[in-house]
Structure 1
């Protein structure tokens, strides 16, 4: 409950030097009259419910040293002149608000600045290159802002920070910056203890000179091997390198370092034997999930045993050959040599043939091959299109294999990260209701531009979206004829089965983040196949580290109409977010109405539309296509008893109730996906029983 607002009369106390009113549940706007306090040194208004823009008069109090407005509902821009009008500023903290615009370059004029923190806002880039002037700077928090511009030099500003010799904490999490990490990162302040670069699109090898830091580098595109000097420090180090593209073996030298408290190397491409001592002896502090070629390690890691070195067969030495040549008639020797040569030749051909077949099966395709297979990526072969990619039907030669080619929109901001996320996810999951990936392509096109694509097994019946909402008379005819009620129920069960697998049976839970009809393909048997893991997130398995929770932060993770309400308010990504999307999908599947239909407004949604009908008019909201189809099933309606009709209505009621429960506004009110799956299976059994009874009469 809001206690009140800041009284404008405070602006009359001209001698006031400290105004600290944090954590008082105050609401309303900040009075412009506060700007009259010309002797004010400290202004603390954090953790209230203050609204609107900060009055420009406050940015003109030249005596101000501490300006803290964290955790409110404030908006607007940080003035371009802030470093000039607040020259004595030592602390500026505006985290957890709704500020937008760019970081002023004049900030570098506040030479005494010690802490600057604007996390969790909507500040955009580029990041000023002159921040190195702030030689007193100790803490710099830019995290959870869309600062990236999509240019290769996004991260180059770090080089200027080498002059900030007092810097201790540098937080750049989820700011959407890309490019190659400058080597100057190793020359940052010797006092630096924490470096947060996770959830960006940085692509470079790991610098060897950053071993004395608490590192958070997960969810990037770091490549190459892990330097043996990482973790070489005498300081409560935490090294988080999960979800990158690191290769090679884990340096055995890391086992000798006693100061690493957490080491997370999950979801990379590491290989070889895992050490068993030091940090590697504790499965709660060392994590290496999703590295398919790792072996050995302690039993709790559940890795396969490393292969034992095979003994090579002794080769016939030259002296023995000479002795044989002397003691055995020459003809026999020649015969033996000839037979041996024939054997080796045949063996070599068989081995070559096998290798070639294996390589052909798993090789990465070129841009030219995909260009030819899709008829120059023609619009006639376009299956579907999303924010980050377009999907084309193609035919690979030789063999005439039908495929679906997802071509990355390489210039779309965030597309590269989406491509990597999908690669990582698909590398670690297997389920009968997932679209099967065949291979990938990462090369250059005919104009020498980057080209990336994923190649999937072709699914003949297209996407569910087109069956629920036909775009043409031909599609409409197909949907009326083939997509029957029991098939819709099977589709719902298939998708729930995938989510149950992703959330509960993958070791580390995977959140899909974009469940919707256009991401569900239908196989030739109308089996549902879930696709598009470009927004997928792995839930961190490090407990007690709130910063490890995957957050939607600035960008809403998902599609309008299907995205969970909490994501729109910066809530954490969770399994219940997928459950919400699934609930909307279930309601759409049986009502035939999109959540973005024009009939729905802010106060009246697909969820409330169905919920209102649950009490007395369930059959009135059923998709008319289903009703028409039901009437054609062997006298389903006309020749059945009243009891069967009631049972049919009961099945619909149960399905809609599950959909409404899953799409509840508050996530703690939503069903668990395990219960959803078992509930739908029970409904299917009951519905089949009703059909069988009606056909027997």
Structure 2
């Protein structure tokens, strides 16, 4: 019996040992499978990404378009609206929810989506701070948070996202200083903090961003000087630092930036002599007005002449600079030539840029890009043709395709020649023409189209007169006072360039809000320039074979009265259209409004109210801004700086829209007057008085 008990006990012990060994081996096998990559590696990752998305959804407090309704268990999370996953591991790589009228705070769990490469939340109403967990997105390449209401400081650990190439945070309420650690983001090409409340000076560490192409710091409260270290940013093509309190002299190194094509240093505290070389020779690309202590520069900048009685030290410094510049001119030219040749070869080898992607487009590729000219991709239509949004399959580049309304078949050579000329017209406030297409469609009909760069924020028409749904508040999209002034100046600069700085004057002939497009930074661009000439030739060729003639005379309400009486097209006709546009921008009323009947027009409506009843004709949205600023009771324009500014703008609009062409000023005078208004009503002060 004793032996039986011992045997039983021994058997039980062996059984326990056996079970433990089996468990250990199972754990060991599972772990080894993981180490060898044989176990499923995405289950936990997928669960983490899905949960992070659900946490993101939980923080959404407003969803007018019901976008988040697709985020449910009936479909895989990789198919949720705005979510893109990688093919191999089904991890979230893109979260693109731009322009969907979403509101809420940003979930701190967003940092758990460790495979995320693109985060695009621009043009929504997200608020509160950017969570520190964003530093966990080590694969993040592009970050778009433009035009929200995000507050707080720029996260300190954003430098952990070492693969970032684009950071756009314009149009928010960011505070604090620009962090020096951003200088560690060595791959950065675009850095935009346009229109925030940032303080302090520009960090010298930004000079380490050798790949940087765009630096946008306009409309903040920055001070100090432009650090000399920025002289290392030789790839910089756009530098925006207007409407701050930056001081010191304009750095000479900006003259040497061969890639620089747009520079805005206006409305700061710069002093001294404006450089005269490099980009400073191009008045349409350089803006320095609003700096009362600056002088010199080319005449087209309209700045004061420098006082000849400068100090001996300044004179000596100028002489030394001239001597050094002369001695180094040959060497500098040689270096620039070598760099230019190298960059040209590099550009030729690159196929990812939008311009290179569209050089050889065919009708078939345009059909594919626009999904067969789908109505869902129709952006707008007018007298010149219809515009479609397209995405090129080869590169993923987003383009705008304008299919022209043609009456006359053929004429491909003249059409392509005219379009080639348009491609060479470049100004920061003109929509860039990328290429032209001429051929036949699938039915054998003549097909001609222009391909433009795509403007993310739509047209000025969309912002002045947004389409309001039944359940949408009326202030979903609107422009504040200073944004309207800025767009008005953008359009004026572009028209001045077309009228006075091209080989021969270019008449637009159809200037109106729907032809003013706004980019990511809310900068205005004129579209459809030069089409009047192309299509008028088409109409003339057509009318040679048909009875009657179809003229291109603009749009009712914006076309000048002399066009209706048979007068020829002229730059003064564009000036009239600009005047009406300016009145519309600040009254919020179309010239074709139903109230303007029986002799009453938008122009007469405004003229009768100036100057004492200016509030009565001003856009109610702008009046609400005055209420928010605490000056609702001031109705006399003489006692209110804001109203004096409005009065001056309305007067420009009235002068431009005079009935007689001879009474209208030209666009060069308009630009001078607008600059004068901006000088008197400093944008840094205006901006902080207007809700953003």
Instruction: Give the structure-1-normalised TM-score.
Output: 0.43
Choose between structure 1 and 2: higher helix proportion: 2
Question: Which one has more relative contact order, counting CA pairs under 8 Å at least 6 apart?
Answer: 2
Pick the structure with greater CA Rg: 1
